[in-house]
Structure 1
Amino acid sequence: MAYVPGVALLAALVVGCSSGSDGDAADADSKPGSPTVSAAPPGKYRTLPEACRAVPPGTLKDLLPGTAELPQDQQEKVFQGAPSVTYDTDRKVGCTWKAEAPDGSRNLVIDFERVVSYDPAVSDDDRARDVYAQRENAADLPTAAAPHEDEKKDKEEETAKKDKASVTPSGTPTTPSAPATDASTGGGSDTDDLRPRVLDHLGDTAFLDDLLTQAGSTAQHRTVSVVFRTSNVIVTVEYTEQPSLVTEVPDSKELQEKAQALARTLAEGLSE
């Protein structure tokens, strides 16, 4: 019986220690930890295509006229293209093709850039949107007129043409003349919108630029650029024509149509 108080005291100490430990654990759990930061989702694309193989051979033949008349070995050399110099093929790749013909030269350049955000709070897609927006702003695209203003102008021009075509100063009926071409763009009817502009139905967003330049006494050359973004990849197509004769102006409509067609082909390739 003399040992009972000691046993009871020992039991009390054990219970007390156990209770103290649980309390400390509860206090530790109740303390706020470091704030949790959710990383932004990565972009859709982790790799890039091989640029010099991204354009189908048939498309290259159409974009580089005159190559079909070259010997087979020279054709193959032209169609191989020249890879762009890059130090990180996971982030940026490109290729250039050039064809010379008696009536002039054509150059084609394509570029793929995979945008990566190093800020965990900013997604790759959001960063790519910013990069694309900077390029579109740098292109300084003209502001389109309001729809109702365009319609009003078209109706006024159409009425004026009809009035002019129906009666000459002597009162003799005549037939309307053929649609005028836009000299500033080097081809296309007056109803074609060949101005630099935002494009629909190409990637997530896209724009087209058209630049006609002349250096000294050389022939004018025109470069049509199509830039589009798909998720975190930005693709650029540059298609240039320089005629041999100084008096010739490259056809804007033809270059724009071919550059847009190629851009859509590249966009489809990325989606596969």
Structure 2
Amino acid sequence: MLGPMNLPPPLDPARHALFIDFDGTLVELVDRPEDVRISPEAVQRLGVLQRQCAGAFALLSGRRIADLDRFLSPLAFAAGGIHGLERREEPGGPIVPLAGPAGLDPIRLVLSVGVTEEPRLRLEDKGTSLVVHYRGHPELEGAAVELVQRSVADEPGFAVMKGDNIVEVHLGGMDKGKALSAFMTREPFVGRVPVYLGDDTTDEFGFAAVKALNGVSIKVGNGPSEADYRLSCVDSVHRWLGSEPGLGADGMKEAS
């Protein structure tokens, strides 16, 4: 596992393919996911990086791609949403769902009843995944986990993932790592070195995929990770993305 000050090397747009998580990486985590904000200057900088990488740039998020579009407008970008359960392979292209919402209907019913009984829990319905939030109520972590596990019961084919103050369930067979690997087989990503930045346990799938491709894996924030490098916070991410060649995350010259 990485050390606490293992800063990443500078981004090289000529040879890197850039993959970025959204919440906790490009924007701060907030109690209400719909309240996040990203500055127009940061969005503009992402557009510059996208052009510098010749289009080898994608967002990989647990959010729906439509939500990412709203926050990052007017930027158009490739994306994997809901941990890869929906995908847009090129900017302006169609959003392709890889699973429908109907398969979650029995689980949706159990979770709806559960959050009614415990109103401090909140259910987010993404269509192809269901998320139980307990942010602001850490004492309810066990109740959230138990509710989701009970909703799934012994049903095969579902994946349950824990994240930052959430428990999520969706149809199995997809994660951010698989989405990243799929992008890397297509132009303009193919032949480049993948770089992935993420902050949560769900991003560990992306780190594993990047390491298998001899890429650059960057954990944002504290906590154990299999990533090779670390940035301390969202501000550090934006400084690193905007750094000059030869500068590290905090503007210090990299050792050569």
* TM-score for the superposition, normalised by structure 2: 0.22
Q: Which has the larger radius of gyration?
A: 1
The structure with the greater share of residues assigned to helix is 1
* TM-score for the superposition, normalised by structure 1: 0.22
